[in-house]
A and B are shown apart, each in its own frame.
Chain A
């Protein structure tokens, strides 16, 4: 059985070489990655085995992400392993969501058409437990089919049933 995938696509009105720069140069990457936060890039080494160590500061707290590149094909493809980490860059589980996949394999492809760049991001759980895969798959199914609302109704119903 294939692993669940979550896909985001976006078209940018810029040539691919320029888009590539914004994903691979730290000064540029820090300027767009992370809305409403201060993005601090501690390390960015875009090559297989290289790391992107990213800190996002907000409201007095910090959120750390550890990215390890596994495939780099300039200017068309980046593949990396994305984990939430602690301040020492060791992968950590998400305290809010214990079953969320610890590591997501992230594949970014850049395709140029007529001076524009088509970007496609695909996330899939990496070396995940069954519970992590189920959590991720459930979230995708829920988001795609508007389960958010349905689940709220259901939670209310369950409270009623319990009473």
Chain B
């Protein structure tokens, strides 16, 4: 499962910035910002071999910046930066939903302990 490679623990900002330090990789990201593309389609304007492009894509994938599609023939690459930012924001909301609910549960439990003669 190549696509989830970035949860293996090497997904850090360092990896992101290392991935971005190379001009070819930045150009690949710029290309992908316009829409998903196969290795072939990416290689074309760069006058680069497919293995060279694949290697760059691997670095970007490891940094979590690019995802590869499930289509076995093309395995199109797509930019992952913005969706990932949204996903992080969504999980942040999810977390704060539960934390605030737990604050309410705290007060409810206090109230129940004091007012209710509850037995186990």
Q: State which residues 25-41 of B face A: CB under 8 Å.
A: 26, 29-30, 33
Supposing A15-B120, A19-B109, A35-B100 touch, asked if A6 and B91 sit within 8 A by C-beta, the answer is yes
CA distance A10 to B98 in the complex (A): 10
Smallest CB gap from B112: residue in A: A18
Main secondary structure of the interface of A (DSSP, over half): helix
Q: Are B4 and A36 in contact (CB under 8 A)?
A: no
Count chain A CB atoms within 10 A of each CB in B88, B99, B110 and give the residue with the most.
B88
**Of the residues B3, B13, B91, B120, contact of A145 by C-beta under 8 Å:** B13
Question: CB within 8 A of A138: which of B1, B88, B100, B106?
Answer: B88
Check A137 for interface membership: any CB of B closer than 8 A.
Answer: yes
Count class of interface residues, chain A: 35 or more
Contact of A32 among B90, B92, B104 (CB under 8 A): B104
Q: How far is the CA of A143 from the CA of B100 in the complex (A)?
A: 18
Taking CB atoms, residues of chain B closer than 8 Å to A32 are 101-102, 104-105, 108
* Contact count A vs B, C-beta below 8 Å: 156
> Quick one: given A143-B95, A148-B88, are A4 and B7 in contact (CB under 8 Å)?
yes
Total contacting residues, chain B, CB less than 8 A: 51
Contact with B along A101-142 (1 / 0, CB 8 A): 000000000000000000001000000001101111111111
- CA gap between A19 and B84 in the complex, in Å: 35
8 chain-A/chain-B pairs, Cβ below 8 angstroms: A22-B105, A22-B109, A96-B90, A133-B3, A139-B88, A151-B81, A151-B88, A158-B81
Cα(A162)–Cα(B28), bound, Å? 11
